[in-house]
Structure formats: C-alpha cells, structure tokens
Structure 1
C-alpha cells in the first residue's frame, strides 16, 4: 500500500484527515512522540519526527550508507524529510508489528551474532561514519569519574560497595591503557532497541551509530540498566555472552586482554551511570518514576560489583 502524497502536512505533522487512527509508542528526548498510525484497519506505519534536535539527517544517512549493507534485521524507512528547521524533519518506517523487548540468554546470543558480524566489517569500507555518539567518550567518562573521586567514594560506600572494592577499581583504572581498536557501533544497544517480532530479531533506532570500541555495544547489551526494561545479569551469563562474541568476531583479538578491558570499561561506565541515576533521584525530573530509577540503580550496582569481583579474580 502506497502512502498518500499528503501523508505529512507542511508543518511536519501527520495529516489527521487521512489517518484512520494512531497510537503513541514513546516520547523522544525533545518531547516529540513516535507514533503508529493506520490508513486502514489492517495497514499501519510508524511516524518518527526528529526526537533529538542534534541528530538532523543522521538516521537517514545511516540507513542509506550503512544499513543498506546489512541483512534484513532492521525496520526500513519508507519516506522522510530532512530540513534545517527541526520541526520539518521526520521519517515514516514500515511497521514491524508487535515488538517484544525482553532480555534473555537466547535473545542476547542472537544479538551477539549480529553484533560480531557488524563489528567485523572493516571500518575503511564504511565511508564517513561519525566518530562520536551522543554520550561522552569512555575517556571523558573516566576523567569525570576521577574528577568526582571523593563523591564516588562517598556514594559507593553508602550503597554498600566495600572500601576494598572501591580502592581496587581505582587502582585498575589508574593503570588501564585503552585499546585503540574501533568498530562500527550501534551506539545505544539497550534492551529497548532490539526486539523479537514474529520469532525474528530486529534491531532498532540506529541514529546513534558511530565508530567506537567494541566494548561500547557490549556494555549497552550486557550491563547497561534501563528504567523501562529491567533485566537480571549474572557473572555466568556475562561470561557466556563475551565468550560467544569472541568466538564469532573476525578481527584479531587477544581474548584475555579483551575480557579484562571489558570489566574495566563496564566498571567505570557503571560508576558514571550511578552518579547520573543518583542525580536523577535527587532532582526528581519526572521522566522516570522513583521506583524505576531505584531498580535501575540496583541493577547498575549489581553489575559493578560483579565486574569488580571478576577483575580481582583476574589479578594484574
């Protein structure tokens, strides 16, 4: 079914005169809503306005220059508008149907299979991929954690992280030399950005795509806690996921060094996240409920403690 020429009005909004019904899926960072809309009772599409004002044209670029190389594991853009006026930027996607966002071992291993595949694409074959995403680089995250070292000690101690563990992680971070390996990164691969649709994996929202360390995508999949998508991570499952990834990537890698660096990466990123979550709890901005934030905090602390323990078991 083709879309009407007047599907979107001149002011960048869905034309209510041709839409049978619509439903809100989620709110973007700038307050605009991503919606499912129906032209008939059976035929629906996804309308996505610009949800982050700093991302004009980026998602379309990724679809045309990067995802065009991919198998069918992502929703296709049907039509779009790119404009210097933020309110006139929008995309219409195919509607994949009901999405099941659930973290479990089977789904995680399926994501890992594809992650290992796109991480193995030589970056020189990908063209002018952005070198940064929306979040700070891991180097900047680590610098901020060290800058706030006194606050980190106080906060982690209050959250029942032992003094020895806090001392241990700062010791490891002090001597950590970051790997220079860069791969194509999804950029925001938390549980809300992959889903099972009719028993098939689909990976969504590629607007944060950039070049980064392999650990960026791995951390977001394994240890990034999200207020809307709770999950339980264990040391055994983490080790299984990392082992599966290393068995499938096609670039050369020192497995022992890679795993140790993952635990360092996950530890410092988790500490940074704890600082952010604690700030959200104090400021009570209202985007997430207190219960959601506390659950996110608990998950992040648990991941941090598991990674610190793994590091201590590995030794120097």
Structure 2
C-alpha cells in the first residue's frame, strides 16, 4: 500500500515538500503532537473552511491509515451508522525535499468534524457501544486491514509480560510496592498502589481461567481522546451533538474486550473521566445484549467475569507502565497528568478485580 506521490492540485494549501503553505491560511491550531515528530493541526483556510492536517515520519503507518479510511471505514459506516471524518487527500513529500522539524515525509488531510467534547454522557457511551457491537459483527475476510496488531501489546502479551515480572508462583513484593492503605482496604502491602490480595487474585485467575479470545474487527485505539460529541461542526451546524469516532489508523482484529476496555475502563492522561460501578455494568450489559452470537459468552455473568479479568490484567499492565513513566520523569505527559491517569487506572483495576 502506498500513498499518492504528488500533491493534488485542488489541495493548494499543502506544498510539494509536505509543509503547509502559510499564504493559503487564515490561521492554524495544534491539536496533538506525538512520537517521531508527528503533528495534527486544525487549518483555517482563507476560503473560510477548516480541515485537519496530520503529518508524520512514519510513512508505512500513514499509508495503512489512508487505506483504512478509503476501503474499510465505508464498509463500517454502511453496517453500523458510524460517523467519522472523511479523508480528503494524502501524499508524500517530494523525494528531494529535505525534512525539517516541521517537514514530515507523509501527510493526510481530513474533514474537520468540529471540536470534540470528550466528557461524554452515559447515553453517548451507549450509542458508542451499539456502533461497536455492529462493527465487531462485520466479517473481515475481504477487508485489507494490514498488520494484525495495534499500538500496544495485546491481552496475551500483557498477561505473559506480567507473569514474567511477577512470577508464576509470586507472593510478596517481587515488584516495587508502596506501603499504606489502599482505598477501602485494610493494612496490607500495595503493588502499584493496589491491594496485594487483589493482584494475587488476578494473577491466579489469568493463569488458571483466561478469557476465551474470539477475534473481531476492532478500532484498536478507542481511548477517550478518539471519540466524543461534536460541540460545533465547522461546515455543518446540524451535526452538533453527534457522536464521532476518530483515530482509525490502528484498526485490526482483536478481542471485542479490547475496544470495550479502551472505551470504558482505560484512563487517558489528557481526558480524565469517571465511570462508576453501576454505569460500567449497564454499559457492559448493553454490549452483551447486542453482541453477535459467538463473540462473547452466552451467560451474562460469564461475560462480565471474562471482561473483568481482561480489564484487570490490562489495567495492571498499564499501572506498571505509568509507574515507569513517573520514575523516568520524562515523556509526553506531565507528572500531574500521569498521577490522574494512575488514580483512574487503580479505580478501574479495583472494580474489575473485585469481579474476578
């Protein structure tokens, strides 16, 4: 799969070297910056329209993303009613252009769906759950999805990673542990800030009763920053208040629990939120009621237990990652953002570990 080698003549605000032409803009706003110098910006065109421009040095991932938006998402939209930003154009910088801090090797231009409010209601999450159940039900044999993995290790890899570190017969503090009281727990050693007894329960369960992994088409990166309600569409005010799902560049086959975990229980440093126990159970029940036959257990309690183990393992793995980032004192997030993410992840772990 290869991106277009030349810039379309109709996209006159992108130069041949992949940079944005300032003389074609009324303004620009940085939305996100990531690894490898990638940038996502909102461009305010002189015509009055707005678009979202993404630039990256990862040309293979950019090519995969373009292919997903051109060939996979139309199928998902037709099947699930999914609303997503349209890919307008994409390309490569000229081979002779020298990249600089702002000149990346590949670029993509998307429809601007407006400002997304990532603090969504339970009703919006229920809408997302319904769409998710429909895209999970899609047959994937004819879809060109590319690599079969997302940005993070999958559940099996995370579980193996934790067992390697904690040990198959682990007892006690084999990893850095805090001392003190866990919220709602009696005095006992804490591992990654959660009660040792809960960690042991999850470790034993992931060794003896792992969830049955049935693979389905997954968004792959459905954290709180990749969905939300439109506060205001730049070009269509009628879409205000509509749920949008963005960031589809990591679509792959995975367990349906992967999308559920990202949407419900996975904390993000930039988008703090709180999902209560009762709300989480209602959301999971809504998915179970709509899931295609064979994707999840037929009995609701079995489904809730399997998902809870899956989520607890992923949350424990994330807690380890957060502790490592805090210790390194460098990276994309501030200490305060990481501490907020850690608190939310601990809460998700406790909730799910209690069901295991």
TM-score (norm 2): 0.81
Question: RMSD value over aligned CA atoms?
Answer: 2.3
Aligned to 1:222, the other structure's residue is in SS state helix
Secondary structure in structure 2 of the residue aligned to 1:57: helix
Which stretch has the larger CA shift, 125-134 or 241-250?
125-134
Q: Does the Cα contact within 8 Å between 2:16 and 2:93 map onto a contact in 1?
A: no
Aligned twin of 1:115: 132
SS of 2:209's equivalent in the other structure is coil
User: Which among 86, 93, 98 is matched to residue 76 of structure 1?
Assistant: 86
Give the 3-state SS of the residue equivalent to 2:194 in structure 1. coil
Partner of 1:130: 147
Residue aligning to 1:314: none
Shift of 1:227: 0.5
Are the equivalent residues in 2 in contact too, given 1:29–1:52 (CA < 8 A)?
A: no
Question: Based on CA coordinates, which of the two structures has the bigger radius of gyration?
Answer: 2
Q: CA deviation at 1:82?
A: 4.6
* Structure 2 match to 1:191: 224
- In the alignment, is the contact (CA less than 8 A) between 1:129 and 1:211 conserved in 2? no
Label 1:208 to 1:27 Cα distance change in 2 as closer, same or farther (>3 A): same
3-state DSSP of counterpart to 1:310:
coil
* Cα separation, partners in 2 of 1:162 and 1:18, compared to 1, 3 Å: closer
Q: Is the 8 A contact 1:24 1:34 kept in 2?
A: yes
Counterpart of 1:250 (choices 292, 297, 302) is 292
Q: Is the 8 A contact 1:133 1:187 kept in 2?
A: yes
CA distance in 2, matches of 1:261, 1:300: 18
Q: Secondary structure of the equivalent of 2:163? A: helix
Partner of 1:262: 307
Output the CA distance in 1 between the equivalents of 2:165 and 2:137. 36
SS in 2 for 1:30: helix
Does the CA-based 8 Å contact 2:39-2:56 persist in structure 1? no
Aligned to 2:51: 45
The CA distance in 2 between the partners of 1:231 and 1:128, in whole Å, is 31
Listed as ranges, the matches of 1:131-280 within 5 Å are 131-149=148-166, 151-152=174-175, 154=177, 157=190, 160-197=193-230, 198-252=240-294, 253-254=296-297, 255=299, 256-280=301-325
Distance 1:265-1:126 versus aligned 2 partners, 3 A rule: same
Distance across 1 between alignment mates of 2:145 and 2:29: 36
Q: Which of the numbers 8, 16, 33 marks the counterpart of 1:10? A: 16
- Number of aligned pairs? 310
Moved more, 275-284 or 285-294: 285-294
Segments of structure 1 that go 5 or more residues without pairing to the other structure are 312-316
Q: 2:112 aligns with which of 62, 79, 95?
A: 95
Partners of 2:214 and 2:94 lie apart in 1 by 35
Cα deviation, 1:66-93, whole Å, max 9, x if unaligned, reads 1011145100011111579793311111
- Residues in 1 aligned to 2:139 and 2:40: alpha-carbon distance in whole angstroms: 33
Matches of 1:182 and 1:83 in 2, distance apart?
37
Structure 1 residue 153: Cα displacement: 7.2
Return the offset for 1:264: 0.9
1:67 is the counterpart of 2:109: no
Determine if contact 2:18/2:92 at 8 Å carries over to the other structure: no
Q: Distance in 1 between matches of 2:303 and 2:57?
A: 35
Q: Describe the SS at the equivalent of 1:20.
A: strand
Partner SS for 2:177: helix
